[in-house]
Amino acid sequence: MQIDKTQLITILKEKYDYEVQRKLHFESILNIPVTMLGLLSAGIFYVLNLSPNHSYLWFNEIKPWCVGINMVSFTTSIVLIILFYFGYKREYKSFPNSDEVSTNFTELSEYYDKITPGLTLLELIFNPSKREKEIDAKTNERFKQNIIGWYVEINTHNSSINDYRGTLLFGAKFFIGISYLILILTYALSLANRF
């Protein structure tokens, strides 16, 4: 069964475009976690400055633990966001530039021109373009193989980078969520302490 390399190239190009869109999505989504961290830091500052009613000392004992866990979670989310944004941002690969692609095609054409046997006298008389067609067919076939190889390498690399960045973003959002949960719990306990 002969694989249609043109269809394979189209599929790989779509995958390449998908990974580029994921990269652009990751670049544009950074403002949400940063805004959440700003609000969270304001909430932590507010909870730290709560003056509890001294009639219930249990809140004074639990407050440092809540704030400590919150600060660890907050710091972890900041580290994950920094890794997400700066860690692998420059690691993406892209399709070779036009000069490299053109040079590759020219080299292939010259190579197949050298190794393709010449025409016999009868072929020269009746079908003079047979050799050129054979060279073009071999060059195009090999060039498609090169394109497929480029796409496979680039897509594999960029997909792993996007997956890792997605994991970092998920982790940052997870720890921000934990920080918010602990912050709300601490505030609720301070309210319960007042009554």
| pLDDT greater at residue 183 or residue 2 | 183
If you average pLDDT over residues 39-47, what whole number do you get? Answer: 79
| Alpha carbon separation from 38 to 35, 50, 160 (Å, rounded) | 5, 19, 30
**pLDDT tens string 48-87:** 776 655 445 666 777 788 888 888 888 898 898 888 888 7
Looking at residue 57, the DSSP 8-state letter turns out to be T
Cα 46 from Cα 19, distance rounded (Å): 41
The pLDDT value given to residue 167: 92
The pLDDT value given to residue 9: 86
Q: What percent of the chain has pLDDT over 90?
A: 14
**pLDDT tens string 127-179:** 656 667 776 777 778 888 888 888 899 999 999 999 999 999 899 989 988 88
The pLDDT value given to residue 55: 46
Q: Please name the residues in contact with 15: beta carbons below 8 A apart, sequence gap of 6 or more.
A: 151, 155, 159
- What are the structural domain ranges in the chain? 5-95+140-194
pLDDT at 20 over 80: yes
pLDDT at 106 over 70: yes
Summary mean pLDDT of the chain: 79
| pLDDT greater at residue 105 or residue 14 | 14
Residue type, 148: I
| Alpha carbon separation from 105 to 5, 8, 141, 146, 192 (Å, rounded) | 16, 19, 11, 9, 75
- Give 3-state DSSP helix, strand, coil % of the chain, rounded to 5: 85, 0, 15
Q: Which helix (H) or strand (E) holds 48?
A: helix 31-48
Tell me the two tokens of residue 92.
């993406």
Which range, 5-19, 48-62, 179-193, has the best average confidence (pLDDT)?
5-19
